Amino acid sequence: MSAVGGRRAPAPGESPAGLASVAGRVLPRRAARAWRAPPRSPAAWLAALVLGLAAFLSLYPTLMVLRGSFSGGRLGTPAALTLQNYVAVYANAETYALLATTLVYAVGVAASSVVVGFVLAWIGVRTNAPLARQMPWLVFVPYALPNTLSAVAWIILANPNTGLLNEAARAASGGAGPLFNVYSLPGMVFVATNHLFALAFTFLAAALHALDPALEEAASTSGASPWRRLWHVSLPQAWPAIFSTLALLFIVGLESFDVPAFVGIPAGIYVFTTQIFVQVSVRSPPDYGRAATYGVLPMVLALLLAWYYQRTIAGGERYATIKGKAYRPRRVDLGPWRWLATALFLAVFAVSAVLPVGTLALVSLAPTLAAARDLDLAHLGLQHYQTILADPVALRAIRNTLVLALLGATTAMGLGFFIAYITTRSRLPARGLIEYVLFLPFALASVVLAVGILWGYVRFPIAVYGTIWILLIGYVTKFLPYGFRATSTSLIQVHRELEEAAHMSGAGLGRIVRSILLPLTLPGLVGGWSILVVLFMREFSMSLMLWSPGSEVVTVLFYDYWTNGRFGPLGALGMLLVLVSLAIVFAVRRASRLDTVAAG
């Protein structure tokens, strides 16, 4: 994992739990002394309330998934406990075929993302390839492109009949058959990798940057080629980071819904998440009990893997190469190969960012998809943008998306700040447990969590179903660990002495937070907040399960436009989202100074 010395928010997709264990190890003993709020003081009650709320948000939907899986009744209605869903799901050979497909997909996505991410991270962080310092910035362009849009772009580019790439290949070769077929399992893995390699890059770049260059230098002195050094020196040193990234991306692949929905369903290829979606949203009447039961197996798998991942991280000291001795990482001189290395990076960038974004831009400007395919540049215009901006539903979706993103990020960061304050400044016995509890929904596939939320909140005393508030609850529940990590990594760097001095001078808790903690942790908070805003703007899986007419968000409209064949408005709305996301991502990079990773 990345170094903990820099004040930064966790990167998008970074495991908060992984960082949690690192933070736990570096937390100074003095900072962990007893929290000194007087008994039954408002602060103590506030702490109890915040922790209770966080525990409720995390545990309630998780337990409701389990409760729902034993229910034979309708959503939220009384029903006796039964095993019939388990018999129907897990005594069915089809489920194991589904499991096999899911595992192949998740392993494929994790492995290919890590391979691409590692090679590019090594080029970007450890070599003198031209543009190396810009690479950590550039990889965020494909990450800012939501998977939903990437999938649509690749369908237009690589569908077997009229995909632009296939037509170009046919024109070049004279062959009749398609060169690419996005509607296939390899196609699904390819589309997902285009997005997720950026995550692998981020984790691995941080790890590679932290490696002691002495071994590489020794290998170089012994005459090893750059590639031999990569294979025999850098790779073994980075193995813990590679493994943890692999594990994390496997979980991401397991819970992935967007690419399987857009690309897998048309190909007749189903994974657990799409099967759950079908049970709830397409099957009639919806079978929430069976959906919850389908969700149990990936939930158990993800939790086991997360636990194993935690253990690996916790035992990672034996691989430590960052020692007390000062050193400055040196970049490997690739000689003439450096141009090839940059060309490789640019090729991946072109495939993962330029091609799909360019395709979306073209589709958003062309009057019809056929015109876009024919590259009819004479008739490009802004008609689809005008359509979007004149459509009350699209405008409402944009407004809902912004409200949810801003409010959700603020809520998650606010709650995260309180929890982090309590866990870093107190000796609360349940401190470690809280981190695990917070992590629970994070390990759940979003569609599984959405099923739990529906079970839990559909007949909640406060009516939230049918409003944007159920989406807010879903977003905050899923991503609260981000808020917690972003704030706790900042808080542990603020020495307790500052607060003690303020306390001695008569400042109350509120004043200490306002005058000391908030200003000092602001960069980390802003970084984490911005990342959450972007994540919420592009959230798809939960939104598709929880929305109702009136609470649409932009990604739900993508799916709606896609199923209705409205490629132009989809492209236009997608481009607007990408531009806003990119602006925020780059602001995040500046605020959280992630680019310093590449500065070695």
Partner 1 sequence: MARQTCALGVRAALLVLLAAVACAPAAPAPAAPAQSAAVASGPVDRDAARAEGKVVGYGTLIDSQWKTLNELYERQYGIPVENWRGINTKIQSRIETEKSAGQNLVDFVGVTSYTMDELGKEGYLQKLPPDLLARVPERARDPNGYWVLWIQLPLTIFYNTRLVSEAEAPKTLEDLLDPRWRGKIAMPDPALNDIVTAWFYQLRQQWGDERAQRFFTGLAAQNPTLFESALTVSTNVNQGQFALGLGYLVHVLSVGGPGGDMAYVKLDPTPASNTVFALASNPPHPQAARALADVFLSPEFFQSAADLGYPTSMPGTHSALAGVDELNLQQLPDLTGDKQDEMIAYLKGIFHK
Q: How far is the CB of 152 from partner 1 (least distance, A)?
A: 12
Q: Supply 231's token pair.
A: 């294979």
The span from the CA of 78 to the CA of 75, in Å, is 9
Q: How far is the CB of 39 from partner 1 (least distance, A)?
A: 3
Q: Which residues contact 146 (CB under 8 A, 6 or more apart)?
A: 258, 538, 540, 555, 558, 574, 577, 578, 581
The span from the CA of 441 to the CA of 63, in Å, is 10
How many residues appear in the chain?
600
Q: How far is the CB of 178 from partner 1 (least distance, A)?
A: 7
Q: Supply 594's token pair.
A: 């992630």
Nearer to partner 1, 383 or 426 (CB): 426
Q: Which residues contact 444 (CB under 8 A, 6 or more apart)?
A: 62, 65, 255, 295, 299, 302, 452, 478
Nearer to partner 1, 56 or 239 (CB): 56
Nearer to partner 1, 161 or 221 (CB): 161
Nearer to partner 1, 198 or 371 (CB): 371
Q: How far is the CB of 166 from partner 1 (least distance, A)?
A: 10
Nearer to partner 1, 15 or 166 (CB): 166
Q: How far is the CB of 454 from partner 1 (least distance, A)?
A: 7
Q: Which residues contact 568 (CB under 8 A, 6 or more apart)?
A: 363, 364, 366, 367, 368, 369, 383, 384, 387
Looking at 509-566, list the stretches that DSSP marks H as alpha helix, in order from N- to C-terminal side: 509-512, 518-538, 541-546, 554-563
Amino acid 10 reads P
Q: How far is the CB of 229 from partner 1 (least distance, A)?
A: 43
The span from the CA of 406 to the CA of 322, in Å, is 38
Q: How far is the CB of 595 from partner 1 (least distance, A)?
A: 39
The span from the CA of 582 to the CA of 586, in Å, is 6
Nearer to partner 1, 259 or 280 (CB): 280
The span from the CA of 281 to the CA of 286, in Å, is 6
Nearer to partner 1, 62 or 487 (CB): 62
Nearer to partner 1, 80 or 326 (CB): 80
Q: Which residues contact 315 (CB under 8 A, 6 or more apart)?
A: none
Other Cβ atoms less than 10 A from the Cβ of 435: the count is 23
Q: How far is the CB of 451 from partner 1 (least distance, A)?
A: 11
